[in-house]
Amino acid sequence: MFEIVTSSAEDTRKVGYKLGSILKGGDIVCLSGDLGTGKTVFTGGIAQALGIQGYVTSPTFCIVNEYQGKIPLYHFDVYRMESSDEMFEIGFSDYLESNGIIIIEWPERISDIIPKEHIWVSREKVGADEPDKRIIKLDFRGNKYIGGKEEFESISS
């Protein structure tokens, strides 16, 4: 597991950018964390690394936003989902087979259908005295990501 402390939204975006610069088609990134911890800002950094122009917004009410860049990016927010079955109703299987990059906010709600090979990014606020300070933890899970931590560390130095 790799841990980074950020102190601003810009720092968060930069960490997302660094992760985005090593992502490949078919990668799945799960963004865990409370409201207001910068999940969408982090996603914006990933999108920027993929050459996606414009502002990335949270797909809270539409469930998924699609962006075209070097690699397609599919940004899911499953906060309002009642069950994993709803993901398949909106075509999640097709997204998994698309060879795009999938980002899932609130992945705990559908953990039973997330493939074993993924990157789990947890985010948490540090304290009330520093409202913008966050701890970001990246956990590269599965054989596909053996070496992922080292690859990320090499661009973070």
Task: Report domain extents, the chain.
Answer: 2-156
User: Would the pTM of this model clear 0.75, i.e. be above it?
Assistant: yes
11 in Cβ contact with 85 (< 8 Å): no
- Whether the predicted pLDDT of 107 surpasses 90: yes
94 in Cβ contact with 67 (< 8 Å): no
Q: What is the pLDDT of residue 26?
A: 94
Q: What is the pLDDT of residue 70?
A: 92
Identify the CATH assignment for 2-156 out of 3.90.1150.10, 1.10.1370.40, 3.40.50.300, 3.20.20.140: 3.40.50.300
Q: What is the pLDDT of residue 126?
A: 78
- Write the DSSP symbol of residue 112: G
Q: What is the pLDDT of residue 117?
A: 93
pLDDT in tens, 6-29: 888 899 999 999 999 999 999 999
Q: Across the strands, what pairs with 30?
A: 104, 120
Residue 130 burial (CB count, 10 A):
11
